[in-house]
Structures are given as C-alpha cells and as structure tokens.
C-alpha cells in the first residue's frame, strides 16, 4: 500500500536506510505517522533503502486488516 496511507497498519517487511543501516521498522511493528515522516525525510536526503520490496519506498508491505 502507499507508504503515506500505512499509518496504523502492521508492517510486513523490515526497512533500513544506509547509512547507518539499522532497521527503523521490522515486520510485526505498527507503522506510525512519525515513522512515515522519518522515512520521507530519509528519502529526501537520498539515503539508500534496504530491506523493502519497493526500493523507492513509495509503497510498503503491510498485513491485511
């Protein structure tokens, strides 16, 4: 689903930015508005996305509700 609409959903993948390469969200965690804002800022800074199926992070895999 679009990252911007994922708040409140359960993430189904891990997402990390490099650097530093530490996951900011893992499968099973709730996606928060703060997480979405953080991801958007990291993308704005052109950091490399690791772990996500969509390397542009326009979409995020979540569990169906």
What is the domain extent for residue 24?
3-50
Is 80 exceeded by the pLDDT of residue 65?
no
User: Helix, strand or coil for residue 50?
Assistant: strand
Tally of domains within the chain: 1
**What is the CB-side half-sphere exposure of residue 23 using CA atoms within 13 A?**
11
- The answer to the question of residue 59 being in a domain is no
**Residue 10 belongs to a domain:** yes
In the chain, % of residues over pLDDT 90: 97
58 part of a folded domain? no
The 10s digit of each residue's pLDDT in 33-61 is 999 999 999 999 999 999 999 999 999 99
Q: How many CB atoms lie within 10 A of CB 36?
A: 19
pLDDT band at 64 (very low <50, low <70, confident <90, very high): confident
Does the residue 8 lie in any domain?
yes
Alpha helix segments (H runs only) across the chain: 33-44
* Cα distance between residue 3 and residue 61, in whole Å: 9
């Amino acid at each position: 689903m679009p990252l911007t609409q994922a708040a409140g959903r359960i993430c189904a993948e891990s997402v990390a930015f490099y650097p530093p390469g530490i996951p900011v969200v893992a499968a099973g965690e709730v996606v928060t508005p703060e997480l979405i804002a953080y991801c958007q800022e990291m993308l704005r800074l052109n950091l490399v996305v690791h772990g996500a199926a969509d390397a542009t992070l326009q979409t995020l895999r979540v569990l169906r509700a």
